[in-house]
Amino acid sequence: MLESTLFQIAAMIGLGVLSQWIAWRFRLPAIVIMSLAGLIVGPFLGLFDPQDRFGEVFNPVISLAVAIILFEGSLSLDFREIKEFPRAIFRITTLGAFIAWIAGSFAAYFFAGLSLDVAFVIGGLFIVTGPTVILPLLRQAKLKERPAAILKWEGIVVDPFGALLALFAFEVVLWTNELITGNSLLIFFGLSFLAAAIGAVAGWVLGRLLEQGHIPEFLKSPIVFGVVLMVFVVTDSIMHETGLLAVTAMGIIMANMHLTSLRDLIHFKENISVLLISSVFIMLTASLTIDTLLAILNWRMLLFVLAMMFIVRPLSIWISTIGTGLTLAERTLIGWIAPRGIVALTVSGFFANALTEAGFEGADIITALTLALVFATVLAHGFTIGWLGKKLGLQATEEAGFLIVGGTPFNAVLGEALKSFNKPVLLMDRSWGMLSYARQLGIRTEAGDILSEHTEYHVDLTPYEILIAATEEDAYNALICQRFVPELGRENIFQTPISMGDPNDYSKSIGGKKLFSPEYDVHTLNRYIEKGYMIRKTMITEQYTLENFQQDNGYETIPLFTADKENNISFITDIKKISLDPGTTIVSLTSPSKKMEKALEKANNVQSQPKD
Contacts of 484-489 spanning 24+ positions with Cβ under 8 A: 486/267, 486/270
Write down which residue in 495, 527, 559 finishes a domain.
527
Question: Is-contact 10 282, C-beta < 8 A?
Answer: no
Answer yes or no: do 328 and 363 share one domain: yes
The pLDDT of residue 319: 95
Task: Tell me the C-alpha distance between 281 and 40, whole Å.
Answer: 13
Number of domains in the chain: 3
Q: Which residue numbers in the chain have pLDDT < 70?
A: 1-3, 130-132, 139, 178-182, 263-264, 266-270, 397-399, 453-458, 500-510, 552-555, 574-577, 593-612
- Residue 230 CA, distance from chain mean position: 27
Answer yes or no: do 508 and 492 share one domain: yes
**Total length of the chain:** 612
Domain holding 503: CATH number? 3.40.50.720
The 10 Å Cβ neighbour count of residue 447 is 15
Answer yes or no: do 117 and 266 share one domain: yes
Task: Tell me the C-alpha distance between 185 and 499, whole Å.
Answer: 70
The pLDDT of residue 332: 94
Write down which residue in 356, 391, 426 finishes a domain.
391
- Structural domain span for residue 584: 531-612
Answer yes or no: do 519 and 538 share one domain: no
Nearest C-alpha neighbor of 246 from the set 285, 206, 198, 284: 198
Order of strands, sheet of 585-590, starting from the edge strand that comes earlier in the sequence: 534-539, 585-590, 557-563, 569-571
The pLDDT of residue 194: 93
Nearest C-alpha neighbor of 488 from the set 461, 458, 510, 470: 461
The pLDDT of residue 182: 67
Task: Tell me the C-alpha distance between 570 and 230, whole Å.
Answer: 48
The pLDDT of residue 10: 86
User: What DSSP line would sit under 114-153, residue for residue?
Assistant: --HHHHHHHHHHTT---HHHHHHHHHHH-B-HHHHHHHHH
Answer yes or no: do 179 and 294 share one domain: yes
Q: Which helix (H) or strand (E) holds 81?
A: none
The pLDDT of residue 514: 84
Q: Which residues contact 83 (CB under 8 A, 6 or more apart)?
A: none
Answer yes or no: do 280 and 358 share one domain: yes
Q: Which residues pair with 538 in a beta bridge?
A: 586
Answer yes or no: do 536 and 521 share one domain: no
The pLDDT of residue 303: 94
Answer yes or no: do 601 and 483 share one domain: no
Write down which residue in 527, 562, 587 finishes a domain.
527
Answer yes or no: do 218 and 353 share one domain: yes
The pLDDT of residue 600: 44
Question: Is-contact 276 2, C-beta < 8 A?
Answer: no
Q: Dihedrals φ, ψ of 275, to 5°?
A: -65, -45
Instruction: Give the angle subtended at the CA of 479 by the CAs of 474 and 482, to the nearest 5°.
Output: 125
Helices (H), 212-341: 217-238, 242-255, 262-286, 290-295, 299-307, 313-320, 328-336
Task: Tell me the C-alpha distance between 302 and 291, whole Å.
Answer: 16
